[in-house]
Structure 1
Amino acid sequence: MKLLLVEDDPMIADQIYEDVTSFYPERLTIIGPYNNFDSAVAGLVKEKPSLAVLDIHLKREREAGIRLAEAINQVLPIPFIFLTGLPDRKGFEKAKHTLPVAFLKKPYEKDGLKRALDLTMMHVERNKVATQQTIPAVIKPLGEDGVWVTTSRNEQELLKLNEIIFLKVDDHYIDAHKVQGGTPTMFKSSLRDFYEDYLSAFSNFFHLDRSHVINLKYVTRIKDNHVYLSEEDKFSIPKNRRIDLYKRLGVYPT
Structure 2
Amino acid sequence: MSEKIKILIVEDEMIIAANISLQLNELGHEVTGIVPRGEEALMHIKSETPDILLLDINLKGNLNGIETALEMQKTHDIPVIYLTANADDVHFNKAKETHPYGFIAKPFKKLDLQRAIELTISQIGIKNDPNPEVHSNNETLVLSDCIFVRHLNSMVKVNIKDILYIEAERNYCRIFSNNKEYLLVMTLKEMDRKLPSRHFLRIHRSFIINISHIKEIATTHIVIGRKAIPISKALKKVLLRRLQTI
TM-score, normalisation: structure 1? 0.55
Match of 2:211 among 206, 209, 216: 216
Q: Which residue is 2:100 aligned to?
A: 121
AA of the residue aligned to 2:142: P
Q: Equivalents in 2 of 1:119, 1:73: separation in Å?
A: 27
Distance 1:95 1:211, change over 3 A: farther
Q: Equivalents in 1 of 2:209, 2:101: separation in Å?
A: 36
Alignment RMSD: 4.5
Q: Equivalents in 1 of 2:12, 2:49: separation in Å?
A: 13
Distance 1:98 1:67, change over 3 A: farther
Gaps of 5+ in 1: 1-50, 76-80
Equivalent runs, 1:99-114 vs 2, <5 Å? 99=51, 106-110=60-64, 112-113=67-68
Q: Which residue is 1:74 aligned to?
A: 29
Q: Which residue is 1:235 aligned to?
A: 229
Q: 8 Å contact 1:66–1:95 — kept in the other structure?
A: no
Which deviations, in whole Å up to 9, do the C-alpha atoms of 1:42-93 show, x marking residues without a partner?
Answer: xxxxxxxxx99731662398x6666666677839xxxxx975159989x948
Q: Which residue is 1:138 aligned to?
A: 139
**Cα distance, 1:207 vs structure 2:** 0.9
Q: Equivalents in 1 of 2:209, 2:69: separation in Å?
A: 43
Q: Which residue is 2:85 aligned to?
A: none
Q: Which residue is 1:187 aligned to?
A: 184
**Cα distance, 1:178 vs structure 2:** 1.0
Q: 8 Å contact 2:10–2:38 — kept in the other structure?
A: no
Which deviations, in whole Å up to 9, do the C-alpha atoms of 1:191-245 show, x marking residues without a partner?
Answer: 2222222322x2x311112211111111111224211113x21111123312111
Aligned identity (percent) is: 12
| 1:107 counterpart SS class | coil
Q: Which residue is 1:148 aligned to?
A: 148
| 1:112 counterpart SS class | helix
| 2:242 counterpart SS class | helix
| Number of equivalences | 188
